[in-house]
């Protein structure tokens, strides 16, 4: 049996051996990083995810559904660049941009010196022709009295037949000259009318009521109804737009033109006023296609007249479905198509409520552009999450911002 000191020596632990069994130096930092990552994962899982939602619209209570959306511009059916009928120098311009003018209102006047001179000449020629006509009528009266005397003398055989014939010839000649002179008076009157028209042409008037959008000429400039070559001659006084003739023209993809029908109701939204829906209707479908864009042009009448609507404004148009008032009300709800998630042949949406997302299985119906009809699973009024992120799950913590 070993003595007691030997036994104690066997139980002694050498410090160098214990130091050799310590963990490596990199193990502790690695463990700390792993703990931090785990904590971050748990924190992110519990952190609410900010989502955008849209309220589902009940199919029975919502208004007409948009069958198709298209973009276009506001245009005017009556627009005119007003010019003079004659070439001349502008004397006065009476319009400014934004000014409203009535039909026939004077917009500008041209130098009328030449026209006034021609008018004075024509009037003088008429007065001369009328004076000659008056003189011939006096001479005719004298000749007729002479003819009467000759006829009386011939019955008493006091003059020869030749004297009577001469008197008769004089009367007939004066009557012919009077007829010719009357024609000259008529010609002079026509000449006055012509020069009056030329004088009127120096006054430029509005062809219809509207608003001046462009003022193109200034006093002292030359203006011509046609381009005479060179940039010194204007071809118009200004541009007038009939604001009552404004309409919308949109280009509809030819693949969807079958959805558009004449007199179809529409909602138009101007790019400048995003919250303002303007009612309208389809006026006409232009029976031709644009080969380069594969579109068909559609004209739309505006049911509202407003000073905020001006030509060339950009506009977005929604063509609305027309419902039969006797047809049964549709069921389900309309939601953005981007809210639908498809997995394994089934469709789901996520509803936000009380800070969490709830996954709901739905049955889909018709799709109208960016809207999707849910026939079963939603009733309307639910806050549906738009475009759920990949990996979005049932019970996800969310914070909601409603669109």
Nearest CA to 338 among 272, 398, 371, 387?
387
Instruction: Give the pLDDT of residue 359.
Output: 87
Q: Are strands 295-302 and 341-343 parallel, antiparallel or unpaired?
A: unpaired
Instruction: Give the pLDDT of residue 150.
Output: 83
Edge-first strand order for the sheet with 88-93 is 203-205, 106-110, 88-93, 222-223, 233-234
Edge-first strand order for the sheet with 210-215 is 79-82, 238-241, 210-215, 100-101
In whole angstroms, give the CA distance from residue 252 to residue 31.
63
Instruction: Give the pLDDT of residue 110.
Output: 93
Instruction: Give the pLDDT of residue 146.
Output: 86
**What separation, in Å, do the N-terminal and C-terminal C-alpha atoms of the chain show?**
91
8 A C-beta contact, residue 363 and residue 373: no
- Cα–Cα distances in angstroms (integers) from residue 375 to residues 80, 244, 380, in the given order: 53, 43, 11
DSSP-derived secondary structure letter, 99:
-
8 A C-beta contact, residue 222 and residue 234: yes
Q: For the chain, how big is the Rg over CA atoms in Å? A: 48
Instruction: Give the contacts of 164 (CB within 8 A, at least 6 positions apart).
Output: 147, 150, 151, 153, 154
Q: What share of the chain is helix, strand, coil (3-state, %, to 5)?
A: 30, 35, 35
For residue 126, give the H/E element and its range.
helix 113-155
In whole angstroms, give the CA distance from residue 330 to residue 74.
34
In whole angstroms, give the CA distance from residue 106 to residue 139.
49
Nearest CA to 317 among 301, 293, 295?
301
In whole angstroms, give the CA distance from residue 122 to residue 129.
11
The series of mean pLDDT values per 10 residues for the chain, 403 residues long, is 56 52 62 63 60 80 75 93 90 92 94 90 91 90 87 83 87 90 91 90 92 91 74 82 93 91 92 91 93 93 91 92 69 85 87 84 81 83 83 80 59
- Cα–Cα distances in angstroms (integers) from residue 22 to residues 82, 91, 213, in the given order: 100, 107, 90
Tokens 């809210």 belong to residue: 339
Instruction: Give the pLDDT of residue 43.
Output: 47
Nearest CA to 295 among 256, 249, 251?
251
Nearest CA to 332 among 286, 293, 365, 290?
365
DSSP-derived secondary structure letter, 1:
-
Nearest CA to 288 among 278, 299, 279?
299
8 A C-beta contact, residue 75 and residue 248: yes
Quickly list H helices, 156-267.
161-200
DSSP conformation letters of 33-69: HHHHHHHHHHHHHHSPEEEEEEEPEETTTS-PPEEEE
- Residue 141, SS3 per DSSP: helix
- Residue 333, SS3 per DSSP: strand
DSSP conformation letters of 275-308: T-EEEEEEEEEEEEEETTTTEEEEEEEES---TT
8 A C-beta contact, residue 381 and residue 56: yes
């Amino acid at each position: 049996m070993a003595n007691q000191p030997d036994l104690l020596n066997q139980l002694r632990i050498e410090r160098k051996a214990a130091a050799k069994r310590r963990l490596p130096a990199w193990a502790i930092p690695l463990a700390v990083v792993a703990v931090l990552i785990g904590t971050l994962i748990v924190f992110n899982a519990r952190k609410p995810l900010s989502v955008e939602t849209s309220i589902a619209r009940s199919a029975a209570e919502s208004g007409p559904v948009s069958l198709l959306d298209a973009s276009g511009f506001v245009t005017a059916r009556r627009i005119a660049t007003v010019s003079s009928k004659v070439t001349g120098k502008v004397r006065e311009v009476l319009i400014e941009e934004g000014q409203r003018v009535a039909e026939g209102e004077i917009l500008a006047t041209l130098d009328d010196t030449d026209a006034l001179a021609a008018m004075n000449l024509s009037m003088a020629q008429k007065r001369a022709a009328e004076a000659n006509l008056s003189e011939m009528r006096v001479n005719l009266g004298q000749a007729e009295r002479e003819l009467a005397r000759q006829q009386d003398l011939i019955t008493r055989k006091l003059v020869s037949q030749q004297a009577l014939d001469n008197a008769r010839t004089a009367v007939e000649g004066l009557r012919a000259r009077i007829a010719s002179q009357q024609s000259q008076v008529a010609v002079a009157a026509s000449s006055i009318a012509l020069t009056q028209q030329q004088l009127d042409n120096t006054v430029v008037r509005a062809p219809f009521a509207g608003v001046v959008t462009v003022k193109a000429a200034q006093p002292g400039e030359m203006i011509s109804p046609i381009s005479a070559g060179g940039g010194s001659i204007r071809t118009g006084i200004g541009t007038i737009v009939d604001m009552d003739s404004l309409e919308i023209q949109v280009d509809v993809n030819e693949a969807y033109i079958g959805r558009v029908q004449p007199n179809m109701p529409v909602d138009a939204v101007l790019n400048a006023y995003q919250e303002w829906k303007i009612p309208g209707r389809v006026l006409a479908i232009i029976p031709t296609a644009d080969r380069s864009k594969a579109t068909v042009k559609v004209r739309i009448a505006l049911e509202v007249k407003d000073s905020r609507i001006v030509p060339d404004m950009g506009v977005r148009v929604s063509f609305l479905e027309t419902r039969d008032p006797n047809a049964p009300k549709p069921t389900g709800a309309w939601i953005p198509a981007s809210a639908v998630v498809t997995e394994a042949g089934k469709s789901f949406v996520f509803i936000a409520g009380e800070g969490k997302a709830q996954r709901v299985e739905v049955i889909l119906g018709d799709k109208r552009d960016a809207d999707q009809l849910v026939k079963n699973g939603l009733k309307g009024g639910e806050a549906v999450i738009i475009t759920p992120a990949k990996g979005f799950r049932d019970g996800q913590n969310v914070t909601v911002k409603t669109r």
